[in-house]
Amino acid sequence: MKRLVLRAGPSDQGERLDRFIAARGGISRGAARRALDAGGVFLGGRRCKVASRALGAGDEVVVNLEEAGRAAEAPRPLERSRLLYADAELAFVDKPAGVPSQPTLTTDRGHVAEAASRALGAPLFLVHRLDRETSGVMVLARTRVAARRLSEDFRDGRPAKTYLALCVRAPSPPEGRVEAPLGRDERHPGRRVVREDGEPASTRYRTLSVGASGTALVEARPETGRTHQIRAHLAHLGAPLLGDVRYGGPRAVGERSVPRVMLHAWRLAVHRPSSGQRLEAEAPEPEDFAALRRALAGTP
């Protein structure tokens, strides 16, 4: 992986991002656009996919480019069992916890879209994302036309998403719909909080079970797609996720450690881009999630 770190000077004020990357990075404009499409470009530390974004003097641009030829440490493809469904337009995959959905600020290797592309032997396009520690079902597009239409559907909130969460306690009330706008927490970068001037966000939820330890298995169905929405909303209801230190969740329950943020994307339903047919996939509980749930419930 080749990584470019570029800084805009006074003469670059107002220049398009793709043109700036090509000129200052010494690459073709097509390569610059591919990096943008893949989510490998960061402007001021934040991911940017807008080729026409105008630069300001002093802006820092980080670009992750895949090296030509075979990478020395090429990521392993997803196991075939994690390819839940594939056709000519899209593919459902079961993302492992700990694997990023897309390129990060420091690397363009090992993300889900790349690993799934290797497994299928053809390019796949990212249309939505899961947090690195979240496991579960994602959909990827197999054509640019499908990618555009699926991306529009996710922006409009059309896909039906169902998550399982292990929480420190049951939310209060134990079932309902939380409609609370979310915005940045000015005191804690990277965290979202309920605030009046935030973006509209709504989540339906219900408590499925409460274990002997008092921890709860909660089903959450986000109706909007805000960053950290389920994590922030359940914390707002007094039920932060186990392992989610950022939102007040513990790393251990009694003597049992919690390996990660305990959130699993269980089911996902989308509409086929060409026909509107509803397609649904389900990702089974991963072993780390199921084992902790059983242990805290007091069952074998």
Which residues are catalytically annotated?
Answer: 131
Look-up: residue for tokens 């053809």?
122
Q: What is the DSSP string of the chain?
A: -EEEEEE--GGGTT-BHHHHHHHHHTS-HHHHHHHHHTT-EEETTEE---TTPBP-TT-EEEEEEPPSS--TTPPPPPPGGGEEEE-SSEEEEEEPTT--SS--SS--SS-HHHHHHHHHTS--EE-S---TT-EEEEEEESSHHHHHHHHHHHHHT-SEEEEEEEESS--SSSEEEEE--EEE-TTSTT-EEE-TTSB--EEEEEEEEE-TTS-EEEEEEESS--TTHHHHHHHHTT-PBTT-GGGT--SEETTEE--S--EEEEEEEEE-TTT--EEEEE-PPPHHHHHHHHHHHT--
